[in-house]
Amino acid sequence: MKLVAPINKIFQTLTTRITCSAPRPAGDLRKRLLRLVWVGLGSLVLVLMALLIWRSRETLLEMLRTARYEYFAWTFVAYAVSIGAVALGWHLVMHHLGQQSDWILNFKIYIYTLAARRVPGTLWYIAGRAVLYKRLGIPGRFSALASAVEVLLSIVSGLMVGAPALFLQTKSSPAHITIFVLVELVGLCLLYPRVLHWLLARFGHHMEPGRLTVPKVLSWLGAYAAMWVSGGLMACTVVAALYPLDLSQIPWAISLWALTGAISFAAFLLPHNLGISEITLSILLSRLVPLPIAMATAILIRVLTTIFDIMWSSLFLLEKNKAISAR
C-alpha cells in the first residue's frame, strides 16, 4: 500500500468547512479545532507583524523615503532561493532517515508551515509538520526528531559560514571564540553518522546499520550552508536599497547574516525569542553600515520575510481551490 497520499487531500481535511452530513462527530470537532488553530496562528502572525511595523514606523518611514525599491524585487528572489535550499535540506534529512522520499511532498509540507515559524515560541511549525506527516502515517515523534536534526544543522552550517565574520570582522574576545569552537565541535560530533544513528535509536527511531554516511550528512550541511549564503544575499539587497554597499562588503554581510542566524537558532527553545535576531543583526551589521541603517535593515528583513512566508504558506489555499474547481 502506498504511504504517500495526495497533499491536496491533507489540507482539504484540515481546512474544508464541516458540514452537517459528516459521519463522525468526534472527527468533526477535531477538524474544527485544527481549522481554528490554523486561522488563529495566521492571525497572530499578522498582528505581530503589524505591531513591529507600528513600533518602528518612524525609523522605517525615514529610511523608505529615499530607498531604492527596485532592490526589493531581488530580495524576494534571494529569499526564494534560500527557502528552496532549506527545503531541499529538509527533504534530504527526511529521505536519508528513511521515512519520506517524496521530495514534492516534503517540499510542500515545509513551505506550508513557514508562516508558523513567525509565532513566538518557535515550536508551532514543528507541531504543524507533525500533524501533516501523521496524516501520512509517519509518527509525530519522527518529524520532531528530524526537526531537531534541522536545528542542529542550521547552527553548525551557520557557524561555518559565519566563521570569517567572527574571527576577522567582529573582534571577538577569546571567550567568544572558545564558545564558538566548542559549539561547532559538539555539533559536528553529534552529526557524525555513528553518533547520530545511536542518538536516533535512543529516541525510538531505529535504522539499518550503515544507512547514514558521511557524504549524506555533508549533503545536508551543503544545503543548509546554501540557505545561509542566499539568505545573506537577501540581506545585502535590503541594505543596498537603503545605503550604498560595496561589492567587497558582500562576503562580510553574508557571513554576518549566517552568524546572526546561528545565534538565533541557538536560542531556539526560548519561549519569547522575538527580537533576538533583530538586535544581533543590527549590532553586527553596524560594523559595515551606520547603526540606523543596520537597525532599519533588521526590521525590514523581519517584515519582508514574514510577508514572504505568509505568501508561500498561502499557496495551499490556491492549490485547494484549484482542486475543488477541477471537480
Q: Is the pLDDT of residue 22 over 60?
A: no
Residue 35 near residue 14, CB atoms below 8 Å: yes
Contact call for residues 122 and 273 (beta carbons, < 8 A): yes
Q: Show the cell assigned to 312.
A: 508561500
- Candidate ranges 3-12, 92-101, 110-119, 190-199; pick with highest mean pLDDT: 190-199
- Find cell 503589524 and name the residue: 50
Q: Which residue has the higher pLDDT, 156 or 130?
A: 156
Q: What is the pTM of this model?
A: 0.78
pLDDT for position 74: 93
What average pLDDT does range 66-71 have in this prediction?
84
CB atoms within 10 A of CB 61: 10
- C-beta of residue 121 within 8 angstroms of C-beta of residue 274: no
User: Which segment of 114-123, 127-136, 216-225 scores lowest on mean pLDDT?
Assistant: 114-123
Task: Work out the pLDDT band at 24, boundaries 50, 70, 90.
Answer: very low
Q: What is the pLDDT of residue 204?
A: 83
pLDDT tens for residues 78-93? 999 999 999 999 999 9
**Which pLDDT band, with edges at 50, 70 and 90, does 69 fall under?**
confident
Over residues 108-134, the mean pLDDT reads: 77
Q: What percent of the chain has pLDDT over 90?
A: 29
pLDDT at 193: 93
What is the average pLDDT across 291-312?
84
Report d(CA 125, CA 150) in Å as an integer.
13
What is the structure's pLDDT at 56? 62
Q: Could you tell me what percentage of the chain is helix, strand and coil, using 3-state DSSP and rounding each to the nearest 5?
A: 75, 0, 25
156 band by pLDDT with thresholds 50, 70 and 90? very high
Least-confidence region, from 95-99, 182-186, 321-325: 321-325
Question: What's residue 45's pLDDT?
Answer: 55
Please answer whether residues 221 and 92 qualify as being in contact, where contact means their C-beta atoms are separated by less than 8 angstroms. no
CA dist list (Å): 299 to 230, 234, 265, 305 = 19, 14, 18, 10
Residues 6+ apart with CB under 8 A from 81: 230, 233
> What is the spatial distance between Cα 166 and Cα 153, in angstroms, rounded to a whole number?
19
The whole-number average pLDDT for the span 102-112 is 87
Please give the Cα distance from 168 to 184 (Å, whole number): 17
**Collapsing DSSP states into helix, strand and coil, what is residue 82?**
helix
Report which of 82, 61, 79, 35 is spatially closest to residue 226, judged by C-alpha positions: 82
- pLDDT at residue 43 in the model: 62
- What nine digits make up the cell of 264? 538565533
For residues 216 and 92, is the Cβ–Cβ distance under 8 A?
yes
Query: Is it the case that residue 46 has pLDDT exceeding 50?
Result: yes
Q: Contacts by 118-122 with C-beta closer than 8 Å and gap 24+?
A: 118/45, 118/48, 118/49, 118/306, 118/309, 118/310, 119/41, 119/44, 119/45, 119/48, 120/48, 120/271, 120/272, 120/273, 120/274, 121/271, 121/272, 122/268, 122/269, 122/270, 122/273
Is the confidence at residue 260, as pLDDT, over 80? yes
Q: How confident is the model at residue 157 (pLDDT cuts 50, 70, 90)?
A: very high
Q: Which H or E run includes 272?
A: none
Q: Are 107 and 113 in contact (CB under 8 A)?
A: no
